[in-house]
């Protein structure tokens, strides 16, 4: 963690994290003490350990929501940020080590380029999540 760092300055979509429920089995006693080995009786309460069906939640990744890998994501504080995997920035890149001032028009143009590129993805997200998707522009200090 935290070895690779970069600053992202680009458009993105912010949505609430989406979860799906799924069923799986777990080994538990009747007092809900979990067991990960093959012991027959609970060390804590002495009750029999049985295989039971439990319901768990799993985060839904964007590729499952839109059926493609057009976005990569980052999660933070119950929100998921979607970044483009196939986006042409809407302004000319600065040279190495050169600072570029972004005008409001350039920021608007970035957002428009993103919206155009991901028109279908945005429609799919809106349909699936039943919300209006807004494209925002911002900075993320990304560590992975």
Contacts with Zn ion, residue ranges (CB under 5 A): 29, 31, 33, 42, 44-45, 47
Rounded least distance, CB 63 to Zn ion, Å: 39
* Burial annotation 94-133 (CB, 10 A radius, 16+ → b, else e): eeeeeeeeeeeebbeebbebbbebbeebbebbeeeeeeeb
Whichever of 47 and 127 has its CB closer to Zn ion, that residue is 47
Rounded least distance, CB 45 to Zn ion, Å: 4
Rounded least distance, CB 64 to Zn ion, Å: 36
**How many Cβ atoms from other residues are within 10 Å of residue 46's Cβ?**
9
Rounded least distance, CB 78 to Zn ion, Å: 32
Pairing of strands 5-16, 135-143: antiparallel
Whichever of 44 and 105 has its CB closer to Zn ion, that residue is 44
Whichever of 33 and 73 has its CB closer to Zn ion, that residue is 33
Whichever of 44 and 116 has its CB closer to Zn ion, that residue is 44
Tokens, residue 15: 């949505």
């Amino acid at each position: 963690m935290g070895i690779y760092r970069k600053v992202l300055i680009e458009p993105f979509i912010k949505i609430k994290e989406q979860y799906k429920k799924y069923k799986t089995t777990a080994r538990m006693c009747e007092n809900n003490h979990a067991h990960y080995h093959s012991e027959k009786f609970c060390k804590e309460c002495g009750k029999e350990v049985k295989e039971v069906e439990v319901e768990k939640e799993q985060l839904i990744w964007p590729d499952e929501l839109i059926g493609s890998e057009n976005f990569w994501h980052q999660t933070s504080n119950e929100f998921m940020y979607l970044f483009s995997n196939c986006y042409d920035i809407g302004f000319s890149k600065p040279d190495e080590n050169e600072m570029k001032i972004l005008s409001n028009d350039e920021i608007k143009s970035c957002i428009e380029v993103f919206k155009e590129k991901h028109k279908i993805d945005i429609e799919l997200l809106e349909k699936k999540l039943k919300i209006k998707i807004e494209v925002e522009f911002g900075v993320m200090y990304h560590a992975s």
